[in-house]
Structure 1
Amino acid sequence: MSKPIADGSIELAGIVKSYDGVTQVVDGVNLRIPDGAYCCFLGPSGCGKTTILRMIAGHEDPTDGEILIGGRNVVGLAPIERRTAMMFQSYALFPHLNVRDNIAFALRVRGLPVAERRKAADAMIEKVRLTELADRLPAQLSGGQQQRVALARAAITGPKVLLLDEPLSALDEQLRVQMRQELSRMQRELGITFVHVTHTQLEAIAIADMVVVMEKGRIKQAGPARDVYDQPRDRYVAEFLGGQNVLSGKIERIEGDSAVISAQELRDVVVPLGGRRTVSTGDHIDFAIRRDDINLTRPEVAAPGGRAKVPSRVRAIEYQGNFVKVILDNIGSDELIAYVPDRIFYRDPFAVGDVVMACWEKDKARMLA
């Protein structure tokens, strides 16, 4: 008898996927996802994230490598044997079946008696808060309600892993926020592993315990959402997630645990080494500062000590509600942006063309790989 799936932990071991024997859509991916985690794969179109999802689901097999769920290698097994379920972007609801029958369909296929599958469907309907709509057809539901039906239909089989392919892409912004909360609630209640694919940065960091950033079939960085956002390892991750300024310069000298950086528009900017000892004087490096860590002052106002100071000019101003996005002249080829709380900005607002000093505490800069 084959070993049963013990839990929803996932291990991808050297996963490769090639469609023509040459081009590798997924290139040597290694990753561990703990049981009960909410994991988001994040990246642009064509980076391999959906291919990985389909390989975990069993809709495709890897060209090389192993996929373990609950400690068992599931390559070659059918989805039902893997204890996985998939929620598709299109929802794929049966238009002629009501909510209850759509949710119970998988149980019907498995041959459960009518009474059992109705009882299970009604329990799941209650979990997704659709009790009053149980007899409606999909066409009589809103987009958010249809998504809840699709989620319930995927979860009713009792999977160890629930796979979600761009589940929020068809919804408007307000409904996306509501459904993010709904997905989080359902994941906590079900206590199973969710693997969610998206290209939307805010969606990933808002909902996931674990974020996996991908580029061209490889994992660039994986870890807790806050760590990946706040401590990107390299320029790609910092720029893709947003919220960071990525600047470049040459190391003029090393002073203790920091490097002094200079470039055409930078003078003696101090960047902590962050434990890196492989850099030396003369190296060109990238470093990042969060946009909300940058303060803007007028040139005549003295900045507090212990801060980096860069002169610049306001190029554009965008009101974002609770903050104002101030776009400054580029530092070389690198964009420089400050997120200024609206209450602070409007005490003494800047105008396009104003000369300013962009300042930040020296320990807020982070050296990138």
Structure 2
Amino acid sequence: MESNPTSPGRGAIELAGIVKSYDGQSRAVDGVNLKIPDGAYCCILGPSGCGKSTILRMIAGHEDPTDGEVLIGGENVVGLPPVKRRTAMMFQSYALFPHLSVRDNIAYALRVRGMGKKERYERAQAMIEKVQLGTFAERLPGQLSGGQQQRVALARAAITEPRVLLLDEPLSALDEHLRIQMRTELASMQKDLGITFVHVTHTQLEAIALADLVVVMEKGRIKQAGPAREVYISPRDRYVAEFMGGQNVIAGRVEAVNGVRATVAPRDRDPIEVAIDGKTRIEPGSSIDIAIRRDDIELIRPDKRLDSPGRAAVSSRITAIEYQGNFVKVMLDTSEDVAFIAFVPERRFFQDPMHVGDVVYASWDIEHAHLMAQ
């Protein structure tokens, strides 16, 4: 028997050619195509103004696209209000009612839908226990911490049993310690509820810590979408590599290709070798970007450098050093627009400390470099 596309659990989302224009010319969202599987935790990531929150509002039903379709559970929901879409949205401000208790805030949506007091309080209590607020049920929002208020907002959104829960920068107002704690709780709740979460953020670590599917956006378009680890270690282009962080990018021109390796000449530097991955098409004379993870960089003093056929290296000078606890962030000068950075394990760095102004070789395993077409 064919399943009902509006039944709970059918939270697969498809955005088909979505466009959003406010003035008929410039596009806040420009032809986005995206499929989010039912039950996935999807993070849409990008800088301010890239269109990520606009996409969230169009999925929610708070805005309609100028063109294209929004499908939830296989059903085109454009024009339907949020209650008909079975979506719920948790806002950055939480938007709790200051005069209502935790229990009444959580139960409010059920009250609006006409559910009797006994039943809605039973369901609210079950949700209160799920978000570990059992001893705070009678308190007002002003008597709660920021993290507790967030749990109330999350419970209030989830109590309506939506197919899709939408979260707009839900952790941005929290301090770092609480943000890390709430990441764990969000992931746990998403698994418990078993529904699709779509979470908008501008924080890279937040996205890769939480998401099954990471979507990186720029100027209204998707630059790359995929599993968190894939997007982080195999960025498609320079924008994704630099925005996700953790990668150095070197631009160069291909001088030679021998089938398994290419010789690339960076601007103002000696040629380096890079392994060919079979995915990026390269040929002599073409321009190429090479991404190298910052934690793959080893810093070697000039008098200790040993040429190795399996490693590449560039000469540089240390411009800044930042102690980060478990590693030391070492910034190096480069002809590129952004600094070349090495993450050196803390113990290794202090065995032979380096200083600003030191000349060093930044070395890495050739097989660990990632090719990206320009």
Aligned mate of 2:319, from 312, 315, 319: 315
Counterparts of 1:73 and 1:67 in 2: how far apart (Å)? 6
Look up the match of 1:366.
Answer: 370
* 1:127-169 Cα deviation digits (max 9, x unpaired): 0000000000000000000000000000000001000000011
Q: Deviations over 1:307-335 (max 9, x none)?
A: 00111111111000000000011144442
> What is the alpha-carbon distance in structure 2 between the residues aligned to residue 259 and residue 9 of structure 1?
42
- Same amino acid, percent of matched pairs: 68
Opposite residue 30 of structure 1, the aligned amino acid is: N
Separation (CA, whole Å) in 2 of partners of 1:275 and 1:55: 38
Give secondary structure in 1 for the equivalent of 2:68: strand
Paired with 2:280 and 2:349, the residues of 1 have a C-alpha distance of: 39
Q: Say if 2:119 is the partner of 1:119.
A: no
Task: Say which SS state the counterpart of residue 197 (structure 1) adopts.
Answer: strand
How far is the alpha carbon of 1:283 from its aligned partner?
1.7
The answer as to whether partners of 2:8 and 2:162 remain within 8 angstroms in 1 is no
1:236-284 deviation per Cα after TM superposition (whole angstroms, max 9, x unaligned) = 0000011100111111111212220113443231122321464221222
Distance 1:146 1:21 in 2: 39
Q: CA deviation at 1:204?
A: 0.7
**Counterpart residue number, 1:180:** 183
Q: Which residue of 2 aligns with 1:347?
A: 351
Task: Provide the residue aligned with 1:210 in structure 2.
Answer: 213
Report how many aligned residue pairs link the two structures.
Answer: 369
> Cα distance 1:311–1:319, how it changes in 2: closer, same or farther (>3 A)?
same
Which residue of 2 is the match for residue 270 of structure 1? 273
1:73 maps onto 2:76 in alignment: yes
- Contact 2:261-2:273 within 8 A present in 1 as well: yes
TM-score of the pair, normalised by structure 2? 0.96
Q: Which whole-Å CA distance do the structure 2 matches of 1:352 and 1:276 have between them?
A: 38
Normalised to the residue count of structure 1, the TM-score between the two structures is 0.97
1:97 is paired with a residue of what secondary structure?
A: coil
Please state whether the residue corresponding to 1:357 is helix, strand or coil.
Answer: strand
Give runs of aligned pairs for residues 25-104 of structure 1, distance below 5 A: 25-104=28-107
- Shift in Å at residue 232 of structure 1? 0.3
Q: Distance in 2 between matches of 1:332 and 1:115?
A: 65
C-alpha contact (below 8 Å) 2:5/2:74 kept by paired residues = no
Say if 1:277 and 1:342 are closer, same or farther in 2 by CA, change over 3 A.
closer
Which whole-Å CA distance do the structure 2 matches of 1:89 and 1:6 have between them?
25
Cross-structure match for 2:340: 336
Query: In 2, Cα distance between the equivalents of 1:113 and 1:264?
Result: 71
Structure 1, 18-27 or 103-112: larger mean CA deviation: 18-27
Taking only aligned residues, the RMSD between alpha carbons, in angstroms, comes to: 1.5
Aligned 8 A contact 2:8 2:161 in 1? no
Distance 1:273 1:91 in 2: 49
Q: How does 1:108-187 map onto structure 2 within 5 Å?
A: 108-187=111-190
AA matched with 1:27:
D
311-320 or 132-141, which deviates more: 311-320
Q: Counterparts of 1:106 and 1:141 in 2: how far apart (Å)?
A: 21
- Give the aligned partner of residue 226 of structure 1: 229
Which string of whole-angstrom CA distances, capped at 9 and with x for unpartnered residues, describes residues 64-118 of structure 1?
1111101111111111111100001100000100000000000000001110000
Q: Does residue 200 in structure 1 map to residue 203 in structure 2?
A: yes
Q: 1:211 & 1:338 partners in 2: Cα distance?
A: 25
- Does the Cα contact within 8 Å between 1:15 and 1:30 map onto a contact in 2? yes
**2:239 aligned with 1:258:** no
Question: How far does residue 302 in structure 1 lie from its aligned partner after superposition?
Answer: 3.2
Gap runs ≥5 in structure 1? none
User: Structure 2 vs 1, CA of residues 30 and 311 (structure 1 numbering), >3 Å: closer, same or farther?
Assistant: same
